Amino acid sequence: MTSTTPRPGPAAGTAAPSPTGSPDAETPPDGTAAAQPDGAAPGRTGPGRTGPGRTGRAGSSLRFTLVAGGLLALLVVAAVASLVFGSARVPVGEVLRALTGQGEAGPLTTIVLDVRLPRVLLAAVVGAGLAVVGTVLQALVRNPLADPYLLGISSGASTGAVCVVVLGIGAVSMQVGAFVGALGALVVVYAMARRGGSMTTGRLVLAGVAVQYILSALTSLLLVRSEQAEHLRAILFWTLGGLGQARWHTLLLPALALLAGLAVLLALARPLDLLLAGEEGATALGLDTSRFRALAFVLASLVTAVLVTVSGSIGFIGLMVPHAARMAVGAGHRALLPVAALGGAAFLVLADLAARTVAAPEEIPVGVLTALTGGPFFLWLLRRSQRAQGVMA
């Protein structure tokens, strides 16, 4: 007669996994749900056990494939639509001939290959990068409201880049100024939110908003003190966000930053999953949380700085997309990061298409459109987090 050993339940004080972060589930005090590593089901196979774990993993893999495939198809459709529509409509056949090299040299081919295609690719890279950074920040601070824009990283990078422009330093140093500004803003916000030994949602948001206002005031001061028209245009560009300066030579650095950052973060998917389970649990499993957070913060700031130098400050993508991706594939970062990247790319390509066509021939800064959609989402998410914390109190 064989006996079965009961599966141990969650350790005392550890929240039950809830990939979607539903307020009905048991969540940590900051409102962030703990994750099963890699989105795997809790069951396992082995001697004396049944196979729900294998079935769960197969289901998760299928779900990831379907979601990623759907987002990739949406991205392709959005990219083709962005090449067709704009201030001047280009027929689909002409677009396809230009892309395949079969079209004759002319104005339409120039519009497709030299104007719209670099812009579409840059939108995809920036959207993917911001979504990935937002996903990582939400894991690092265990807070669903974390975002490069709300935490002041984008504003810090913008202010650093503007300082470089106003001071007349070369374009190579612009990335350095943006990186220093982004990292400095993140350090200040994190230090303010951690005062007293704990970090709450309200304190994190207030610290991010305060730093944003300070950096905005500094940028306005630079605007007032500058007497050159090109400085005014540069400051407005980084303040509002836009992709109008996209050219082929501007694509290389952000694309490399995205690919390298995503590769490193996928390799660190397991530590990111451990952080969602709590500080003590991650430390008990051998993770040096302080060192890992510091390295991840530097990486997130570096990627954000590179993106901001080519797109300006585009907000709320890193807030909205990770939540939608988490609801689709769960909280395991090995699946979550690629899905967030695809979702962010498709979202910003569509947003940029709307920015170019809604008021054509005039163009709306894409950062304005993302703020109009992200603001209400942020208010809903803030209320949801407060309700979840009130239930647990």
**Contacts of residue 8, Cβ cutoff 8 Å, sequence gap at least 6:** none
User: Which of the four pLDDT bands, split at 50, 70 and 90, describes residue 14?
Assistant: very low
What's the confidence (pLDDT) of residue 317? 93
Tell me what the mean pLDDT of segment 271-281 comes to: 86
**Stated pTM of the model:** 0.78
Q: What is the distance in angstroms between the CA of the first residue and the CA of the last residue of the chain?
A: 46
Q: What is the mean pLDDT of residues 331-352?
A: 96
Contact 103, 97 (CB under 8 A): yes
Whether 369 and 351 have beta carbons less than 8 Å apart is answered as yes
Mean predicted confidence (pLDDT) in 188-201: 75
Q: Are 44 and 314 in contact (CB under 8 A)?
A: no
What the block records as the tokens of 74 is 């949406």
The pLDDT value recorded for residue 25 is 34
**DSSP state for residue 299 in the 8-state scheme:** H
Where does the pLDDT of residue 284 fall: very low under 50, low under 70, confident under 90, or very high at 90 and above?
Answer: confident
Judged on CB neighbours under 10 Å (0-12, 13-18, 19+), 291 is: exposed
Amino acid at position 183, single letter: L
- Determine the average pLDDT of the residues in 341-363: 92
> pLDDT tens-digit profile of 38-70?
444 344 444 444 444 555 677 788 999 999 999
Q: Is the peptide bond before 254 cis (omega within 30 degrees of 0)?
A: no
Least confident interval from 65-79, 277-291, 325-339? 277-291
Cα separation, 84 vs 386, whole angstroms: 44
Residues 207, 208, 214, 218, CA torsion sign = positive
Average pLDDT, the chain: 80
By three-state DSSP, how is residue 294 classified? helix
pLDDT at 172: 53
User: What are the tokens at 97?
Assistant: 């001939």
